[in-house]
Structure 1
Amino acid sequence: MKFTMESRLPCDPALMWEQVADTGTFRLVSAPLMVFRSRDHGGLPRQWVVGETYALSMWLLGCIPLGGHWITIATIDRSARRFSTAERGALIKGWNHTMQVKSDGRDGALFRDDLVVRSGIMTPLIFAGAYLFFLYRHWRMGKLIRDGRLFVEDERS
């Protein structure tokens, strides 16, 4: 199952791209709904790296364990401000995710998520959860930008 979600954000597209490519932003916009903790020695690097696989623990609301989650960075295209991942986890057999940042033609950014989810018989349930999670991420990203907080946090663990 697949979906696309796009949000107009009140920030410079180049600055937004730098945030999307930052592992701290991933964690910041996911929390507190979903909390991801690195299982790798040394934690996550500051920027995602093509070809690398990152082992994470996934927690609903920071306290309900949902098992391991692995993110492999498939592509990063800086000129198109787009990158894609191939992910899997305890509950997820396949999660192919592409994020892109573009200009909105005015003074803001368009942030786009494309997601394809495969989890066998669990696909409809995982898909529904993913859709709600992405709604939350888009809402949280906009709120953090409007509150001037998106570019502050830099926790790595």
Structure 2
Amino acid sequence: MRVLLKLVLDCDPDDAWRAIRSPQVFQEVSAPLTTFKSLEIGGFPELWEAGEHPVNMSALGLFTVGQQVIDISFAEKPDGVRLVRDRGRGLSGPLALVTEWEHTMAVSPAPGGKTLYRDQLVFSAGILTPLLWPLYWAFWQWRGTALQRLAPTWSWGTTRRTNLNL
């Protein structure tokens, strides 16, 4: 099944590109519904690098949901669209029930110096898929609202302001 978002963010595309590659922003837009702890030595990097990143996920910060691998790759299309793709997988707990996971975020310029942000999740959990879709849909709406709220605070230009409410 698919969950889609298409938003115009009130920020420069370069700032949005940095934000969607930031574990700090990932945590901010997920909280408080879900929280993540890096299982890598040294914790989360400043920016995601291509490759696998194991994490522990908690719901509402109260109970562990399980472990998963975030498997990041990047692409840039000739038309200026930049993509972050996560083809990770659940390792334990309810997360392991999801057998297909492909989360793609794309940023490109929009009029007025803003950013067109597109977000697609394709997932499957067998016969549980229709039951999980409303949960993922609601979570994606939460993330979209948080992205829109935070986007005006992203500015990594020459002043490298990182006011991400973290």
Percent identity between matched residues is: 30
- CA RMSD of the aligned region, Å? 2.1
Per-residue deviation, 1:46: 1.4
Per-residue deviation, 1:83: 1.5
Question: Partner of 1:75 in structure 2?
Answer: 74
Q: Calculate the TM-score normalised by the size of structure 2.
A: 0.82
What is the count of residue pairs matched by the alignment? 153
Question: Gaps (5+ residues) in structure 2?
Answer: 156-161
Question: Partner of 2:163 in structure 1?
Answer: 152
Per-residue deviation, 1:154: 9.2
Secondary structure at 2:150's aligned position in 1?
Answer: helix
- Does 54-63 or 74-83 show the bigger shift? 74-83
Question: Partner of 1:140 in structure 2?
Answer: 146
Question: Partner of 2:159 in structure 1?
Answer: none
Q: Max radius of gyration: which structure?
A: 2
The within-5 A match list for 1:5-154 is 5-50=5-50, 52-77=51-76, 80-89=81-90, 90=92, 91=95, 92-146=98-152, 148=153, 151-153=162-164
Question: Gaps (5+ residues) in structure 1?
Answer: none
Per-residue deviation, 1:145: 3.1
Q: Which amino acid in the other structure matches residue 116 of structure 2?
A: L
Per-residue deviation, 1:125: 2.3
